[in-house]
Amino acid sequence: MAARTVRIGAGLGFYGDLPFAAADAVRVGDIQYLCCDHLAELTMAILHKDRQRDPGAGYTRDIGLLCQAVLPAAMARGVRLISNAGGLNPYGAAREVLQVAARLGLHDLKVAVVTGDDVLDRLDLFRQEGAPLEPLDGGPPYEEVRPRLLFASAYLGAEPVVRALATGAHVVITGRVADASLFLAPLVYEFGWRWDDWDRLAVGVVAGHISECSAQATGGNFSGPWWEVPDMDRIGYPIAEVDEGGGLVITKPDGTGGLVTPDTVKEQLYYEVHDPARYVNPDVTADFSQIELVQEGPDRVRVSGIRGGPRPEVLKVTAGYDDGWLGQAVIGYSWPDALEKAQAAERIIRRQMARAGLNPEAIHVEYLGVNALHGPLAPIPDEPNEVYLRFAIRTRTREEAERLARLFPPLALNGPPYIGGALPGLGRSRQLLGIWSTTVPREWVEQAVRVEVLGLDALERAG
């Protein structure tokens, strides 16, 4: 008798991803769950700025487009959607899902909302209770960033998502949940895996890790022979096929573009992995070091050799803080002597800044077409056709940042010849958010986690 399997499709890999591959997964992927990771650390900063402009924002707006594309087929086929689109406002995202469902006539749809990851207002209490709140990755001490903190979210694990699935909800919306835990949750729910069954939990985390960045496991962003990847215009996203015993196969929807081979899977497997023997997730510490990847058939790769160990006693918290303002300008020069002209323009701007008393905290200069990607490692070309100078500064105030852009228009007549014009929109200043991370005891966070189920009647009550 064949082992029972669950097929989990990846819906998207970042905020702003297109919904077409998610629709393909629901329509032809024979999946039971569609998991969608919208949140990078940068995304949380974007959502904070959205919420500053509109208190009802703070979630990823693409959840509406995604639901418009997938909900009718998902409801018809019994596919359940799990998404961390809630960001800093899970209830806002849930309301948008319900509004889409109402427009589509899906009046029975239920949304489970997971909250409790927002710990900004609890950090001082954690400190008083004895949490050291030591910064990770060499960041500034807590006392230095505390007055400037704007948001702080703990990475929750799969357990509250399992509770949400147990309510029978068709859609689960969370705030910050660890990416791979979104995919682990339906496996624990379906198979009843114990929370100390480390090897099986590690399989779920590896399945999620391989799937979370959309097509990076199916031929997208492939550093091998990328030109051999077929039909990238309609590339399929990964499907993790997992059996109750912990067997794992990575595939993709039939008829879609892309490629699933050991090399494409490996491309994502080691993405953002610092220690393959110790990949720390809120639910388990996974060991990738003995993993084997075997081509089992066309676009089917079996992943084996996964091991797991106990979960951490702490949860990671990532916070954003006010880190000043960015001022920048971009201006281009044509052949001949394009690079020399851009370098001369840089010298002019630096001298004018000094004369005007503009003293930024940091300056960053790069030459697009020469060293913008490779920095000091880039060889200098003999005679590029065109070069753009990007000049950026970080300042403490918005007014200082905006002063930089005013220095550039006069270069059209007062600087080197054959100017190619400025790139529009880049002269606007914007607030910079620094990212700061620490850890806190997991039980202090988890005691505040809640799951609530909403239906269309919630929209009616809200007016």
CA distance 435 to 327: 19
pLDDT score recorded for residue 333: 97
CA distance 304 to 320: 38
CA distance 254 to 192: 29
pLDDT score recorded for residue 459: 74
pLDDT score recorded for residue 1: 53
Task: Name the amino acid, one letter, at 208.
Answer: G
Q: List the chain domain ranges.
A: 5-117+155-312, 322-435
The model's confidence at residue 138, banded by pLDDT at 50, 70 and 90, is confident
CA distance 26 to 100: 17
CA distance 263 to 259: 10
Task: Name the amino acid, one letter, at 9.
Answer: G
pLDDT score recorded for residue 462: 60
Q: Do residues 187 and 244 touch, judged by C-beta distance below 8 A?
A: no
Which pLDDT tens digit goes with each residue over 418-435? Answer: 888 777 767 789 999 999
Distance of CA 238 to the CA centre of its chain: 17
Mapped onto helix, strand or coil, the DSSP state of residue 342 is: helix
The model's confidence at residue 2, banded by pLDDT at 50, 70 and 90, is low
Mean predicted confidence (pLDDT) in 140-149: 96
Mean predicted confidence (pLDDT) in 357-378: 96
Mapped onto helix, strand or coil, the DSSP state of residue 324 is: strand
Residues 6+ apart with CB under 8 A from 379: none
Residues 6+ apart with CB under 8 A from 19: 11, 12, 62, 65, 66, 68, 69, 70
CATH number among 3.30.43, 3.30.450, 2.60.40, 3.30.70, domain 322-435: 3.30.70
Q: Do residues 169 and 74 touch, judged by C-beta distance below 8 A?
A: no
Evaluate if residue 310 carries a pLDDT over 60: yes
Global confidence as pTM: 0.95
Which pLDDT tens digit goes with each residue over 444-461? Answer: 999 999 999 999 998 777
CA distance 36 to 174: 11
Which pLDDT tens digit goes with each residue over 315-363? Answer: 999 999 999 999 999 999 999 999 999 999 999 999 999 999 999 999 9
Q: Furthest-apart CA pair in the chain: how many Å?
A: 81
The model's confidence at residue 139, banded by pLDDT at 50, 70 and 90, is confident
Over the chain, what is the mean pLDDT? 96
Q: Do residues 429 and 394 touch, judged by C-beta distance below 8 A?
A: no
Q: Which residue has the tokens 């087929």?
A: 73
Mapped onto helix, strand or coil, the DSSP state of residue 454 is: strand
CA distance 176 to 179: 8
Structure tokens given for 168: 């029978």
Q: Do residues 320 and 435 touch, judged by C-beta distance below 8 A?
A: yes
Which pLDDT tens digit goes with each residue over 280-303? Answer: 999 999 999 999 999 999 999 999
Would you mind telling me the total number of residues written for the chain in this entry?
Answer: 463
Structure tokens given for 86: 């809630």
pLDDT score recorded for residue 428: 83
Mean predicted confidence (pLDDT) in 393-422: 93
